[in-house]
Each structure stands twice: as C-alpha cells, then as structure tokens.
C-alpha cells in the first residue's frame, strides 16, 4: 500500500482516498463541517485546510487525493491561522444564542469555536438577519441565521433519501436554504438532516426545547419499527423517553434511521394507557391485582383444560428470550403443539433504503426461538379457526394485539373460555382478556432480536420499572455499568409495575409445577445458544453494540 506522512506519522492509504479519509482511517482527526463520509464532497466550508509540502497554497483535505510520498501538516502555523480565519468568518453572522439552542452540547460549531478559533470577534457591525422558525416540512424546523451553508442537508436529500427537496437561494452573506417551490421536506428520512447539520439550524419539531442534551442519559438499543432493526440511542430524562437518534452500524443502518422509527416507536412507552400491574377480569371488569394472585389464577385456570384445547401465540414484537420461554412453556408445561405467531406485513411501508415490509423487529428471531407449530399442531390461522369452532378454548398471547390488525377477530376471541395476554398497553385484545399481565416494554428490558439480514442485536433498558428497582436494589454503580444501563435510577419519573415477558413465564411455569431457573435474559440466551443451531456458540456479551450475524441462512428458517 502507498504511504503518506501526516504530522510526522507515516500512514498507509488506499489508492483514490482523499487526505481526510486517509487521516481518519488512521485515527488522525482533521476538522470538517461540510464533509461527511457518506455524502459527496462539496468542499465549501474550508475548515479542513492543510499544508502539503511542495504545494504553493493550503489545500482542502476533503477533496485532495492522497498520493505516494505526500507530506501533510495539519497543525502548522499557516494551517492554524487558516482555521482561525475560517472560524472568524463563519461566526461573523452566527447568532450568539447557544444558551437557547437545542444543538448546544452536541454542536460542531460550538466545539470548533473552542478548539480552532481565537475566541474573539472583531466584527462590530449589525449581523445579517435571516428567516427564523421556518418549517421546512412537517418534522424539521429551520433557523436561517444559524446555518453555515455547508449543504449537507441538500446533499442528504439528493443522495441518500433520493428526494431532492432542498436548495440554496440568494448569494454571498444572504444565501439561505429553501425547499423547491410547492415542495416540503417530507421524505421518510428527513430528520437525519437534523443529525448531520453541524449547527443548530435544523431542529426536530417534536423534540424542540424539551431538554438540554446534558440533562439526558442515552442508551444503545434497537428500533422496533420494522425488521431492519436500525441501531439507535434512546435519550431519557426523569425516566421519560424524549428522543431517538440513529447509531452508526455499517452492517445494518449506516448513519441513518427513518422518521417513522424515530418518532412513532417509543411514544407508546410514555402514554397513559400503560398497564401498571397485572389485572384479572371480575364481574366483567379488569381489576388490578398483585402478581401472586394473577399468576395463581392463570396457573389454576390453565390446568382445567385438555392440552389440545390450549394454544399459544408468541410474538414478532417480543425478544428471542420471551419467545423461547413461551415455546418452552407451551410444549413442556402445557404439552400443546398449537403454537405460532402473527406476521405483520405492510408492503407499502418498505423502500429500497432501510424500511422493510415486515413492520415487526423480530419475526426471524421468534421462529428461530421455537415459535412454530408441532407436526400435529395448529398454525396461527388454524388456531383462530379452532377458536371460532370452539375447539380451542384457552389462548395465551404474548405481546401482540391480533384484534388491532384484524378487527374480525374480536368476535372470534370473544368465544374463548380463557384469554391470557401479556401487554405493555391496554388495547383491543386486552379488552377481551380474562387475565392481563403487565409486560415490560422494549425500553425497560434486556434481550435480543434478529433482523431481516440475520443480525442478532441487543436491546437494553433505558428506563426503570418497579422490577428493575427491585432487582438493582443495593447494586453498585460499577455493577450497573456492567449491565450496560446508563440510566439514573434515582430519577423521579414514574415506574411501571411490570416484568419482562420471559420472567412472567418463569413465574407461571413455577406455579404450574415446572421450575425454570432463569434470573436474567442473558441466562435464557445462554440456553438458546447451547440448544439452537443458529445461535450456537454466540455469547450474549459478544453481541455487544454492533451485533453478530447468525450462522444459519434466514431463508431456510423463515417461512
Ligand atoms: S441547514 Fe445545516 S446542514 Fe443545511 S446547509 Fe445549513 S448548516 Fe448545513
Ligand atoms: S427503517 Fe425500520 S428499524 Fe429503521 S428506523 Fe425505520 S422503522 Fe426503525
């Protein structure tokens, strides 16, 4: 491989790489505003100027191709003077409104002002005023005075979202961003422009002024909006989720996520219809009860049915660990092969960027974890038909809402003698249930999902439930860190009295005389990795942040 020398370090680069790419690949940081690794090069911000020996002038590192023997200086006097000048130029018309700007705390301009500017302005005239609070589309607000005209947002719409909706208008210090006449920036990925805008010019209409970034904790997790499983950070203050942002993973979602996943997947965790404790139907009403009573009631009523009269529905919304234990209890404790889960397919949701037609996060994992009918058992359609024919009399559903997806099932499920549902929120199916268990949402539990390409990935708790409080009581902060949770467990927000589905199933199993010794999702996974070929030899900790590709081809498993 050819070599260049940057600041005295000889480094290798690939033919065709620019100086900034070669430097970055070798851990050398060159400042940049307009350059982004996934966008075309525009070369307009000039903060990446570097000195190259034998070249008469400074060059921009983002568009200068590295060549064998090149000697580059990124910290020479000339370079530092140029960086100071670029920062002074960019700050001439930039408002000093960091104290009220949503970007403060995660703003490149703010960071670079400390690092690369002299800290004083010589500009004494009136700054140029431009439009403020301009809605570019339904989800993104624009502040023209904060914009540094880097064009990242324009290039993102053109090149990644494939929806050219933004452009520059005017010239010189009057230049600003606009949507094309008659257009809005309403593409499915519009909010990624907020993440890549290096200043606070683009802000989220949903998140504006809700919190300062330093008041929130963030936890690495996975979007549950479709089977892509985009990697995300979940941002929480006082036990309330306030926003999701994408987390880079080149094997899954690169730097991006869609607006639906960002806005619509976590809201149900914060709503008033959350189920706070188990419920049993008494005199036609669902009544709040404690865990012991609900578990005992479920166990004693399930025992009254012949095994062929009972069916289980696992869930593509639940984790592998939840589904694994649902399959185990169906087969080993009840003895039924009537076991399946609902597929939720929406071809209209898919695109050729990230979104998939499967609008659940874990249908591949549910099947791998054992949610499928036995040879003589009924699949999901057979189960509903048998319920309608009154052959199946007891149905156990984890983390799904069949009536929402098929309203005709309301009359069918009403024929059951016993309907037990695990759910995070009251819904159309819990409205028919005899026993409802309050299940932890994906934001409050550990577990794994398998995405559309066979990547096994981990979710982690970002908010605290009563159960987490109980489990973590007295645990040191270093032990908490090992759990991978960064939440503030003393935060004042509400706690829900819930358990993860896998744990509810262990309690039920014990009450039915079949002890299951799992005290953590990790322990359930350990058994899966020793018994299921696709998970063979995968260690829970090794899944880490980027995930691991499972060894089995999904097309051979997922029907
Ligand atoms: S709005 Fe942000 S991303 Fe777009 S040109 Fe201005 S500074 Fe760059
Ligand atoms: S593409 Fe799917 S997984 Fe990714 S953010 Fe959108 S809904 Fe979530």
pLDDT digits (tens, 9 = 90+) for 214-239: 999 999 999 999 999 999 999 999 99
Average pLDDT over residues 91-105: 95
**CA 361: distance to chain centroid?**
10
> Taking the complete model, does pTM exceed 0.85, yes or no?
yes
pLDDT digits (tens, 9 = 90+) for 339-355: 999 999 999 999 999 99
Ligand nearest to the CA of 457: 2
CA of 149, closest atom in ligand 1 = 5
What does the alpha-carbon distance between residue 48 and residue 34 come to, in Å, rounded to a whole number? 9
Beta pairing class for 394-398 and 310-313: parallel
Does the structure show a pLDDT above 50 at 486?
no
pLDDT at residue number 475: 53
Q: Which residue has the tokens 């990697």?
A: 231
CA angle 70, 75, 81 (to 5 degrees): 115
Which residues make beta-bridge pairs with 218?
235
What does the alpha-carbon distance between residue 135 and residue 202 come to, in Å, rounded to a whole number? 10
pLDDT at residue number 487: 45
Does the structure show a pLDDT above 70 at 404?
yes
Centre of ligand 1 to C-alpha 200, Å, is 9
Ligand nearest to the CA of 198: 1
What does the alpha-carbon distance between residue 52 and residue 55 come to, in Å, rounded to a whole number? 6
pLDDT digits (tens, 9 = 90+) for 260-306: 999 999 999 989 999 999 999 999 999 999 999 999 999 999 999 99
What does the alpha-carbon distance between residue 32 and residue 377 come to, in Å, rounded to a whole number? 60
Q: How confident is the model at residue 121 (pLDDT cuts 50, 70, 90)?
A: confident
pLDDT at residue number 470: 56
415 in contact with ligand 2, CB cutoff 6 A: no
CA of 229, closest atom in ligand 2 = 3
pLDDT at residue number 558: 47
> For residues 444, 447, 452 and 453, what is the CA-based torsion angle, rounded to 10 degrees?
130
Q: Are residues 448 and 528 in contact, defined by beta-carbon separation less than 8 angstroms?
A: no
| Mean residue pLDDT across the chain | 94
Classify residue 177 by its DSSP letter: E
228 in contact with ligand 2, CB cutoff 6 A: yes
What does the alpha-carbon distance between residue 329 and residue 461 come to, in Å, rounded to a whole number? 25
Give which of 410, 374, 417 is closest to 394, Cα–Cα: 417
| Ligand 1: residue whose CA is nearest its atom 3 | 197
What does the alpha-carbon distance between residue 210 and residue 229 come to, in Å, rounded to a whole number? 26
Give which of 267, 273, 321 is closest to 443, Cα–Cα: 267
What does the alpha-carbon distance between residue 25 and residue 43 come to, in Å, rounded to a whole number? 19
Centre of ligand 2 to C-alpha 8, Å, is 44
152 in contact with ligand 1, CB cutoff 6 A: yes
Does the structure show a pLDDT above 50 at 485?
no
What percentage of the chain reaches a pLDDT higher than 90? 90
Distances (CA, A) of 93 to 48, 170, 462: 20, 16, 39
What does the alpha-carbon distance between residue 462 and residue 483 come to, in Å, rounded to a whole number? 11
191 in contact with ligand 2, CB cutoff 6 A: no
Identify the residue with better confidence: 479 or 10.
Answer: 10
Give which of 471, 448, 475, 461 is closest to 541, Cα–Cα: 448
What percentage of the chain reaches a pLDDT higher than 70? 94
What does the alpha-carbon distance between residue 37 and residue 248 come to, in Å, rounded to a whole number? 12
Does the structure show a pLDDT above 70 at 359?
yes
pLDDT digits (tens, 9 = 90+) for 122-176: 999 999 999 999 999 999 999 999 999 999 999 999 999 999 999 999 999 999 9
What does the alpha-carbon distance between residue 246 and residue 262 come to, in Å, rounded to a whole number? 8
Does the structure show a pLDDT above 90 at 491?
no
Centre of ligand 1 to C-alpha 210, Å, is 22
Does the structure show a pLDDT above 90 at 472?
no
Does the structure show a pLDDT above 70 at 474?
no
Give which of 29, 517, 457, 414 is closest to 228, Cα–Cα: 457
Give which of 141, 110, 145 is closest to 204, Cα–Cα: 141
Residue 197 main-chain phi, psi, to 5 deg: -65, 125
Does the structure show a pLDDT above 50 at 490?
no
pLDDT at residue number 489: 45
pLDDT digits (tens, 9 = 90+) for 171-192: 999 999 999 999 999 999 999 9
């Amino acid at each position: 491989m050819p070599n260049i020398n940057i600041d005295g370090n000889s480094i290798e680069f690939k033919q065709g790489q620019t100086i900034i790419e070669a430097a970055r690949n070798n851990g050398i940081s060159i400042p940049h505003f307009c350059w982004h690794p996934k966008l075309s090069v525009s070369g307009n911000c000039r903060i990446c100027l570097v000195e190259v020996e034998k070249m008469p002038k400074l060059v921009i590192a983002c568009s200068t191709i590295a060549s064998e023997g090149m000697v580059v200086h990124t910290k020479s006097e000339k370079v530092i003077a140029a960086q100071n000048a670029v920062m002074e130029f960019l700050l001439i018309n930039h408002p000093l409104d960091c104290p009220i700007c949503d970007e403060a705390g995660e703003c490149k301009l703010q960071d670079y002002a400390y690092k690369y500017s002299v800290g004083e302005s010589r500009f004494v005239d009136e700054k140029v005023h431009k439009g403020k609070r301009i809605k570019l589309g339904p989800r993104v607000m624009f502040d023209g005075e904060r914009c540094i005209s880097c064009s990242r947002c324009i290039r993102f719409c053109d090149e990644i979202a494939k929806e050219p909706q933004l452009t520059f208008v005017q010239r010189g210090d009057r230049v600003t961003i606009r949507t094309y006449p008659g257009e809005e920036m309403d593409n499915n990925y519009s909010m990624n422009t907020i993440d890549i805008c290096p200043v606070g010019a683009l802000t989220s209409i949903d998140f504006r002024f809700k919190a300062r970034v330093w008041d929130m904790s963030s936890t690495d997790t996975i979007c549950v909006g479709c089977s892509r499983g985009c990697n995300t950070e979940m941002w929480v203050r006082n036990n309330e989720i306030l926003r999701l942002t994408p987390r880079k993973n080149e094997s899954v979602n690169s730097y991006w996520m869609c607006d639906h996943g960002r806005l619509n997947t976590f809201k149900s965790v914060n709503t008033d219809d959350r189920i706070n404790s188990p419920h049993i139907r008494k005199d036609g009403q669902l009544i709040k009860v404690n865990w012991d009573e609900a578990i005992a009631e479920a166990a004693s009523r399930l025992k009254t049915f012949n095994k062929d009269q009972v069916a289980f529905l696992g869930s593509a919304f639940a984790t592998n660990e939840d589904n694994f234990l649902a399959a185990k209890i169906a087969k080993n404790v009840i003895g039924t092969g009537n076991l399946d889960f609902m597929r939720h397919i929406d071809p209209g949701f898919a695109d050729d960027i990230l979104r998939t037609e499967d609008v659940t996060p874990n249908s591949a994992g549910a099947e791998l974890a054992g949610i499928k009918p036995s040879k003589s058992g009924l699949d999901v359609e057979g189960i509903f038909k048998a319920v309608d024919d009154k052959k199946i009399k007891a149905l156990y559903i984890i983390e799904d809402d069949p009536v929402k997806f098929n309203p005709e099932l309301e009359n069918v499920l009403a024929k059951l003698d016993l309907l037990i549902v695990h759910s995070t929120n009251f819904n159309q199916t819990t409205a028919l249930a005899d026993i409802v268990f309050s299940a932890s949402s994906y934001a409050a539990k550990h577990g794994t999902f398998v995405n559309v390409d066979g990547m096994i990935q981990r979710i982690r708790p970002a908010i605290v439930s009563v159960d987490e409080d109980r489990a973590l009581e007295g645990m040191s902060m270093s032990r908490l860190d090992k759990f991978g949770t960064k939440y503030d467990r003393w935060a004042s927000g509400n706690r829900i009295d819930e358990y993860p589905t896998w744990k509810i199933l262990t309690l039920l199993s014990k009450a039915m005389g079949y002890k299951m010794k799992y005290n953590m999702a990790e322990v359930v996974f350990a058994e899966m990795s020793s018994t299921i070929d696709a998970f063979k030899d995968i260690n829970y900790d090794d899944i880490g942040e980027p995930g691991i590709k499972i060894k089995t081809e999904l097309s051979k498993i997922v029907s």
